[in-house]
Structure 1
Amino acid sequence: MRGHRYRVTIEHLGTPRDGMDRQPELVFEAVNHDDIIGIVQRIRASGHYSEDEAASLGIGLKLFSEVMLKRKDDPLFAALRPAISSFIGGLKDRNRAGSGEAA
C-alpha cells in the first residue's frame, strides 16, 4: 500500500486510581496518505494547542479519518463524513491563520 508508513506506540503511564493495573504497551502499524508528523508540526506552530494536545489531535484525527476514507462504503461513517470534512477544513484554515500563511 502506498503512503506514509508509521509505527504507533502507546505506553500506559498511569491510572486514575491506585490499585488499577496498567495495560501493556500497544504497538501497531498504520499507513496514511498524509504526512502525519508534518500535520502535527503545523498544528503546534499555530499556537492554539499545547504540544501534547496538538500531537493528540493531529495523530488521532488522521488515524481515524484514514480508516474512514478506506472504509468509504461503511454506513457507520456516513453521518460523520461531512462533519469530519468540515472540521479538517476549519483546522487547516486555523493553522494557516495562526502561522501567518495566506489562506
Structure 2
Amino acid sequence: MGKRTNKYKLTLEELALAKEDDIIGEPLVLVFDNHDSIFNIIKAIKSKNIFEDENQSTEFAIGLKMFTEVILKNRDNELFKELQPAIGEFMKKLKSK
C-alpha cells in the first residue's frame, strides 16, 4: 500500500491586471498531493499572528507548503541541495514561534 497523502484542487484566476494591455488568462486548475493537512497548517499559521493581514497568513501557508512539498518530492535534485539545510532551519524556527 502506498503512502497516504491529502489531495487538493487549487483554482487560480486573474481578477484584475496592473497593465491594461495585458490579457486576462484562463483560470488555472491544479490538482496536487501534500503529506500535511494544508487547512490545519493555515489555521496554525494564522494563530501565530506572524502577519497583520490574515490573507497573508493564508498566502504564506499555501505557498510554503506547496514549495516545501516539491522540494521533498525532489530531494535528490541538485537545484534544491543548497536550500535544504536553510529550509530545515526555517521550519524549526517557524514551528517554535
Q: How many Å apart are 1:84 and its aligned residue?
A: 1.1
Aligned to 1:29: 31
Give unmatched runs, 5+ long, in structure 2: none
TM-score (norm 1): 0.84
Q: How many Å apart are 1:19 and its aligned residue?
A: 2.2
Aligned length: 94
Distance, in Å, in 1 between the alignment partners of 2:87 and 2:24 is: 32
Q: How many Å apart are 1:2 and its aligned residue?
A: 2.1
Q: CA RMSD in A?
A: 1.2
1:87 aligns with 2:95: no
Give 1:56-71 correspondences, 5 Å limit: 56-71=59-74
> SS of 1:59's equivalent?
helix
- Deviating above 6 A after TM superposition, structure 1's stretches of 4 or more consecutive aligned residues are none
Percent of pairs identical after alignment?
A: 35
Give unmatched runs, 5+ long, in structure 1: 95-103
Amino acid at match of 1:60: G
TM-score (norm 2): 0.89
Q: Answer 1 or 2: higher relative contact order, Cα 8 Å, separation at least 6.
A: 1
Distance, in Å, in 2 between the alignment partners of 1:66 and 1:56 is: 15
